[in-house]
Structure 1
Amino acid sequence: MENQPPSLNDRIAQRVRDLRADRGLSLDALAAHCGVSRSMISLIERGESSPTAVLLERLATGLGVPLASLFEAPVPASGPVSRLADQPQWRDPHSGYVRRNVSPGGSASPIHIVEVLFPPKARVAYETGAREPQVHQQVWVLEGTIEVTLGDDRHRLGAGDCLALVLDRPTSYYNPTRQIARYAVVIATSPSSWR
């Protein structure tokens, strides 16, 4: 059992600890910066919590990184190829959506690709605000239908549709159907924010 790879919660715990240390933030400072309690951050950093996507997004914003970077392995990938078997999957305990980081972890690329399987009637709402550096996303629906709301603007997307957005205001995702939706999110940001 000693040689088992770390769980995804352990990987998230390590990334949050490392990113917080890299930025010289105490637990209290990060809590004040992102609106997540000190005790919850401590639980996450110890791998003793199954945080929701909304909570992880708040932490990522407070740390100045895209949400996808919290799922990266602490040790960079050994090459430019990300094999399907090595792509981590994570299920949001609140909505049940499953995200898979497709891009090779640890690369210096400013682009990251995530695949999402979104259950029927599921909803996730992020309290995203303006960020530095600015984070751009494109949401490409591969199967099914989703509704993406950006501030006051709502976009209904079907298979093949692609929406470009900037993470600078509250954003929510909703699957209004009784079928699972599958979509890809392409995230682009400044390479310096991926450390």
Structure 2
Amino acid sequence: MMDFCSSMLDDMDINTLIARRVRELRDAHGLSLEALAEASGVSRSNISLIERAQSSPTAAVLDKLATALGVTLASLFEARATPAEPPSPLARAATQAVWTDPASGYTRRSLSPALPSPIQLVEVHFPAGQRVAYETGARDTEIHQQIWLIEGAMEITAGDEHWRLEAGDCVAMRLDCPTVFRNPTRKPARYLVALSMAPRPSVRRSA
């Protein structure tokens, strides 16, 4: 099993990475702090602290920001290549971003390389007895995910759907409704998340 503590990105580095990504995405959308706060439901002061790497935001807060910015949660942990350095198709284990939710203690490792791709891979370690709830809403980009449980058991709710996954099970869902992840057992769980993104088809209006 991969040792999550082996990553070169410590807590300070990961908060700096998140800070840079939130600023980049906010600037790309032309949003002020006030506009992002209104769209996400996260206070302006909290966003400001996050963008200055002076806060350790929870998974729920980051998901609110990701939803408002129209990206996946995994996108907030992407390391951008420098202009003089083309994005690499290889992501070494030692350089993959690892982040731990301060509220639940669940840990996620971003597996995907910097080379642009419609697919993102994330490995998650979920502690026993913990629960994480996301107020996920519809985005301009249509996002699908599949979750393959490697070890343990997980209960997942997406909107009105509910599943209990055992090792080897895989479930597919769209990220367009509130979602809850819960480990109801006394043992940690580990799973792989595969995300794919595509622009939502435009709806033609009749004249």
TM-score, L = length of structure 2: 0.87
Offset, 1:130: 1.6
Which position in structure 2 is the counterpart of 1:143? 151
Task: Encode CA deviations 1:107-138: one digit per residue, 9 max, x unaligned.
Answer: 22010000000000010000011221111000
Which position in structure 2 is the counterpart of 1:40? 46
Out of 96, 104, 109, the residue aligned to residue 87 of structure 1 is: 96
TM-score, L = length of structure 1: 0.92
Letter in 2 for 1:91: T
1: CA distance between counterparts of 2:138 and 2:24?
Answer: 23
Which position in structure 1 is the counterpart of 2:125? 117
Give structure 1 stretches of 5+ with no counterpart: none
Offset, 1:154: 1.1
Letter in 2 for 1:80: P
2: CA distance between counterparts of 1:130 and 1:41?
Answer: 21
Out of 88, 110, 118, the residue aligned to residue 101 of structure 1 is: 110
Q: What secondary structure does 2:190 align onto?
A: strand
Letter in 1 for 2:117: S
Tell me which structure has the larger Cα radius of gyration: 2
Which position in structure 2 is the counterpart of 1:16? 22
Offset, 1:172: 0.4
Offset, 1:75: 2.3
Percent of counterpart pairs with the same letter? 57
Q: Alignment RMSD, CA only?
A: 1.7
Which position in structure 2 is the counterpart of 1:59? 65
Out of 136, 140, 148, the residue aligned to residue 132 of structure 1 is: 140
Letter in 1 for 2:181: Y
Residue 67 of structure 2 contacts residue 138 of structure 2 at CA under 8 Å; is this kept in 1?
no
Offset, 1:24: 0.6
Task: Encode CA deviations 1:57-85: one digit per residue, 9 max, x unaligned.
Answer: 00001111111010011326742111111
Give structure 2 stretches of 5+ with no counterpart: 1-7, 200-207
2: CA distance between counterparts of 1:172 and 1:45?
Answer: 26
Letter in 1 for 2:112: S
Offset, 1:152: 2.1
Out of 186, 194, 199, the residue aligned to residue 186 of structure 1 is: 194
Task: Encode CA deviations 1:8-67: one digit per residue, 9 max, x unaligned.
Answer: 000000010011011110000011111111000000000000000110000001111111
